Amino acid sequence: MSNDDILLQVEDLTTSFRIDDQYYPANDHINLDVYENEIVAIVGESGCGKSAFGHSIMGMHSQEQTKISGKIHFKGADLLSYSNTQLNKVRGKEISMIFQDPLTALNPLMIVGKQIEEGMKYHTKLSKNKRKQKAIEILSEVKIPQPERVYSQYPHELSGGMRQRIVIAIAIACEPSLIIADEPTTALDVTIQARIIDLLKELKRRMKTSIILITHDLGVVSEMADRIAVMYTGEFVEIGETKNFLKNPLHPYSKSLLHSLPSKNNQGEKLHVIKGVVPSLNHLQRQGCRFKPRMSGTDDSIHEETPTLREVEKGHWVRCTCYKHFQIDNHNQVVEGEKDDVFQGQ
Amino acid sequence: MWKFVVRRILIMIPQLVVLSVLVFILAKVMPGDALSGLVETPGVDSSTIEDMRTNLGINDPVHVQYLNWIKGLSQGDLGTSYIHQRPVLELLEARLWNTVYLSAAILFLTYLIAIPLGITAGRFHDSLVDKLIVGYNYVTYATPLFIFALLMLFVFGFQLQWFPTGGSTDINLEPETFSYYMDKIYHLLLPALSGALLATVGTIQYLRNEIIDTKMKDFIKTAKSKGVPEAKIYSHHILRNSFLPIAAFLGYEITGLITGSIFLESIFSYPGIGQLFLQSISQRDFSVVTALVMVTGVATLIGTLLSDIILSLVDPRIRVE
Ligand SMILES: Nc1ncnc2c1ncn2[C@@H]1O[C@H](COP(=O)(O)OP(=O)(O)OP(=O)(O)O)[C@@H](O)[C@H]1O
Ligand code: SF4
Ligand SMILES: [Mg+2]
């Protein structure tokens, strides 16, 4: 991957929400590059700021409730400097979004075919008939049986899995170069989840689209993603290539996430539960390491005051001064390891 | 679609039966009848009154009376007004139409005022215009109709003399001519406007809340993520969804109009059924009262029928059920 292949470059992005007339960052000075034809997964517990990030890229936040700063470079332009009208030329055409809940993501009063076509009305010069033709083609691309019939059905006439296929069809209708999939399978049955994942993989292979895959399901990620970025309280705490990351997770939070995942190795065991919860925006302690309150037995002498994201091996970044000292013990808690082997990586 | 409408109309039959029984019982339990007023009249002794009662069928067994009444109803016979000495139907006809015109005018003006205000308040909610509109809503909600109508009549009818102060038309005009119709509308305007200005509360409030709600829905995010401009998001997605409860409300609205017309028609001396209703009650003209209650009940049923049909037209989820 070279710099020429960078499709999206997020630089120092801070997105703050208004709560009781005060602004609190849900994304805090975030940096991330997304390359062409790549799937980057963003993982983290609920409330970490994953959706806030996805929404920021497309300018989906309400202007009265949100403050955004930083830069979002996309195809030579800074999307953050765009007006709403300019953004409308990007949304749906260059970047599109797949939403979590297919039950609510579709307009209940509009036939699904029209919902797929709608974007084309604003982004292409296709005639009405051509649009319909295209919509039916897309329906078969997302593996909907009897696309002509489904074209004129209403969302309530379709099953959850089918509706999610419609949501995907809407997202790919104008062949965008980036798709932000915000928990595309969370609301679905396990069996259907796998099929939707397969569909996304296939579409990505064929259309050469980049995907930002937002999920808290590391299982989905390991199957699909080229790279993984772990988010905690609005910051990335670890970014790495999937294989590397799964083999050698460094940040205690990443380790905990991996340990809380059911796998062949821990069958029958009680699943690991990360102590505590993600603090809410207005109660988050922003000084020092944000994960510290959820760790037990850390030694303050070896902690950097505020750990920064550093590259410890090529393409593998971590925000923790002493990752080497921590391992997950059998008591389902993150504990401190030996002290002498202090992480010095720059 | 048609299946739904037919089924919906069939449901009305039991509703009508229940309504008619209720109205009939109501008529029976009302104290006295049209002849009680004659008891004290000199020259009329009680046996004469008894004879008159028998002739009128008032002494028949209840179910026979009910069946006779229903039979009459189905033939358009709503009984005879003892006070006016005319068939109730004849008495009602002209007034019923006047009330229908007035109600239609109120409904039209209500929506004409309420829909733009509701949309504006919902779209720009929490802004200054929104606060003004909500303020207007509070005021109209708290204002009693009869006081407001009197005020309107006083200011625009008597003081400024912009509008006529009573009646439904100028009797000197040739019926069925253009100026006759214009004059009818002219007579309608002030009572209709008075009714409409206060009737907007429900519609504005519903529409506003519904738009604020719908704006936050996921499918609006979907539309935005497709690059649909904001104005189109409103016209294609938000408004249609937000109008559903307004349509559902129509039946209720019509009932409200009929009750409202009792005050309005009395204050503006507008010859409609509301005015007739009050007169008939005070004169114990019960065949007229009964007929009016029946008519009102039927109008309510038709209102809900209309609501349901409109809803089924706009909401595909209802059609399949
Ligand atoms: N519009 C908003 N106003 C105020 N706070 C918000 C708003 N949207 C999100 N938040 C807060 O920002 C934080 C991050 O929210 P976000 O939705 O990005 O989390 P997430 O990682 O996507 O979680 P989930 O897995 O539940 O979707 C949370 O604490 C949330 O409560
Ligand atoms: S080891 Fe220290 S720096 Fe690393 S996550 Fe824990 S508290 Fe933070
Ligand atoms: Mg989310």
Decide: A213 and A41 in contact? Cβ < 8 Å.
yes
* Residue for token pair 């209500």: B110
Inspect the interface and report whether the beta carbons of B227 and A88 lie closer than 8 Å. Answer: yes
In tens, the pLDDT along A310-329 reads 888 888 898 987 665 544 44
Inspect the interface and report whether the beta carbons of B229 and A122 lie closer than 8 Å. Answer: yes
Which residues have a Cβ under 8 Å from the Cβ of B11 and sit 6 or more positions away?
Answer: none
Question: How many residues appear in chain B?
Answer: 321
Asked if residue B46 has pLDDT above 80, the reply is no
Asked if residue A1 has pLDDT above 90, the reply is no
Chain B residues with CB-CB distance to A91 below 8 A: 224-227
The residue of chain A with its CA nearest to that of B219 is A105
**pLDDT (mean) for A108-128:** 95
| CATH dotted code for B91-314 | 1.10.3720.10
Q: Which residue has the higher pLDDT, B36 or A211?
A: A211
Q: Ligand 2 center to residue B136 CA distance, Å?
A: 57
Inspect the interface and report whether the beta carbons of B222 and A122 lie closer than 8 Å. Answer: no
Residue A335: pLDDT band with limits 50, 70, 90: very low
Q: Residue A317 CB: number of other CB atoms within 10 A? A: 20
What contacts 24+ positions apart, CB below 8 Å, involve A82-88? Answer: A84/A59, A84/B230, A85/B229, A87/A58, A87/A59, A87/B227, A88/A122, A88/B227, A88/B228, A88/B229
Termini Cα distance of chain A: 22
* Total domains present in chain A: 2
Asked if residue B30 has pLDDT above 70, the reply is no
The predicted pLDDT at position A297 comes to 63
What's the number of CA atoms in the CB half-sphere (13 Å) around residue B84? 18
The predicted pLDDT at position A328 comes to 44
* Residue for token pair 């010095």: A344
Inspect the interface and report whether the beta carbons of A119 and B236 lie closer than 8 Å. Answer: no
| Closest ligand by atom to A290 CA | 2
Q: Which residue has the higher pLDDT, B133 or B168?
A: B133
Facing residues of A182 across strands? Answer: A214
The predicted pLDDT at position A28 comes to 92
**pLDDT (mean) for A112-133:** 95
Inspect the interface and report whether the beta carbons of B222 and A85 lie closer than 8 Å. Answer: no
The predicted pLDDT at position A340 comes to 36
Q: Which two tokens stand for residue B57?
A: 């069928």
Chain B residues with CB-CB distance to A60 below 8 A: 221, 224-225
Q: Collapsing DSSP states into helix, strand and coil, what is residue A194?
A: helix
Q: Which two tokens stand for residue A30?
A: 């975030």
Chain B residues with CB-CB distance to A122 below 8 A: 226-229
Which residues have a Cβ under 8 Å from the Cβ of B39 and sit 6 or more positions away?
Answer: B46, B49
Closest-CA distance of chain A to residue B131, Å? 17
In tens, the pLDDT along B78-94 reads 777 777 778 888 888 88
Asked if residue B319 has pLDDT above 90, the reply is no
Three-point CA angle A142, B237, A130, nearest 5°:
45
The predicted pLDDT at position B255 comes to 76
Whether residue A29 is contained in a domain is answered as: no
Predicted-assembly ipTM surpassing the 0.90 threshold: no
Hey, whose CA ends up nearest to atom 4 of ligand 1? Answer: A17
Residue A235: pLDDT band with limits 50, 70, 90: very high
Please provide residue A228's backbone torsions phi and psi, each rounded to the nearest 5 degrees. -125, 135
Inspect the interface and report whether the beta carbons of B222 and A115 lie closer than 8 Å. Answer: yes
Whether residue A313 is contained in a domain is answered as: yes
- Chain mean pLDDT for chain B: 84
| Closest ligand by atom to A280 CA | 1
DSSP A96-124: EEE-S-TTTSS-TTS-HHHHHHHHHHHH-
Whether residue A268 is contained in a domain is answered as: yes
Ligand 2 neighbours by CB, cut-off 6 Å: A 252, 289, 291-292, 295, 298, 303, 307, 320-322, 326
Q: Which residue has the higher pLDDT, B238 or B285?
A: B238
Chain A residues with CB-CB distance to B222 below 8 A: 97, 99, 105-107, 115, 167, 170
**Over pLDDT 70: what percentage of chain A?**
85
Helix (H) or strand (E) holding A6: strand A6-19
The whole domain housing A155 covers 106-173
Q: Which two tokens stand for residue A6?
A: 């960078």
Q: How far is CA A284 from CA A3, A187, A271, A310, B282, in A?
A: 35, 28, 27, 23, 72
Nearest CB to B225: which of A89, A97, A122?
Answer: A97
Residue B32: pLDDT band with limits 50, 70, 90: low
Cβ neighbourhood burial of A283 (10 Å; 0-12, 13-18, 19+): exposed
**pLDDT (mean) for B34-56:** 66
Asked if residue A83 has pLDDT above 50, the reply is yes
The predicted pLDDT at position B31 comes to 61
Q: Which of A268, A211, A220, A270 is nearest to A8 (CA)?
A: A211
Q: Which of A224, A231, A226, A157 is nearest to A184 (CA)?
A: A224
The predicted pLDDT at position B36 comes to 56
Asked if residue A166 has pLDDT above 90, the reply is yes
Nearest CB to B218: which of A85, A105, A171?
Answer: A105
At position A202, the amino acid (one-letter code) is E
Residue A342: pLDDT band with limits 50, 70, 90: very low
Decide: B257 and B199 in contact? Cβ < 8 Å.
yes
Mutate to test the pocket of ligand 2, among A309, A321, A342 (most ligand atoms within 8 A of CB): A321
pTM (two decimals): 0.82
Q: Show which of A157, A173, A189 is a domain's final residue.
A: A173
| DSSP state letter for A48 | S
Inspect the interface and report whether the beta carbons of B217 and A104 lie closer than 8 Å. Answer: yes
**pLDDT (mean) for B183-208:** 89
In tens, the pLDDT along A260-284 reads 766 555 555 566 667 778 888 888 8
**pLDDT (mean) for B164-186:** 78
Cβ neighbourhood burial of B144 (10 Å; 0-12, 13-18, 19+): exposed
| Closest ligand by atom to A300 CA | 2
Whether residue A245 is contained in a domain is answered as: no
Q: Residue B15 CB: number of other CB atoms within 10 A? A: 15
Asked if residue A337 has pLDDT above 50, the reply is no
Hey, whose CA ends up nearest to atom 6 of ligand 2? Answer: A292
Highest mean pLDDT among A7-16, A260-269, B36-45: A7-16
The predicted pLDDT at position A331 comes to 39
In tens, the pLDDT along B287-311 reads 788 888 888 888 888 888 888 888 8
**pLDDT (mean) for B59-70:** 80
The predicted pLDDT at position A344 comes to 35
Nearest CB to A108: which of B230, B236, B317?
Answer: B317
Q: Which residue has the higher pLDDT, A258 or B210?
A: B210
Whether residue A74 is contained in a domain is answered as: no
Structural domain boundaries in chain B: 91-314
Highest mean pLDDT among A278-282, A285-289, A332-336, B138-142: B138-142
Decide: B194 and B152 in contact? Cβ < 8 Å.
yes
The residue of chain B with its CA nearest to that of A172 is B226
Asked if residue A6 has pLDDT above 80, the reply is yes
Q: Of the ranges A88-92, A330-334, B110-114, B236-240, which one carries the lowest mean pLDDT score?
A: A330-334
Q: Which of A260, A340, A244 is nearest to A294 (CA)?
A: A260
| DSSP state letter for A263 | -
Q: Ligand 2 center to residue B17 CA distance, Å?
A: 77
**From CA B4, how far away is CA B7, in angstroms rounded?**
5
Chain B residues with CB-CB distance to A123 below 8 A: 227
Task: List residues of B whose CB lies inside 8 A of any A CB.
Answer: 217-219, 221-230, 236-237, 240-241, 314-317, 320
**From CA A52, how far away is CA A60, in angstroms rounded?**
9
**pLDDT (mean) for A186-207:** 88
**From CA A218, how far away is CA A321, in angstroms rounded?**
24
- Chain mean pLDDT for chain A: 85
Facing residues of A9 across strands? Answer: A33, A73
Highest mean pLDDT among A272-276, A285-289, B41-45, B57-61: A285-289
Whether residue A55 is contained in a domain is answered as: no
**pLDDT (mean) for A329-343:** 40
The predicted pLDDT at position A330 comes to 39
**Over pLDDT 70: what percentage of chain B?**
93
Ligand 1 neighbours by CB, cut-off 6 Å: A 17, 19, 26, 44, 46-52, 65, 216, 280-281
Q: Which of B191, B199, B193, B195 is nearest to B164 (CA)?
A: B191
**pLDDT (mean) for B157-179:** 78
**From CA A42, how far away is CA A237, in angstroms rounded?**
11
Decide: A6 and A34 in contact? Cβ < 8 Å.
yes
Mutate to test the pocket of ligand 2, among A301, A320, A333, A341 (most ligand atoms within 8 A of CB): A320
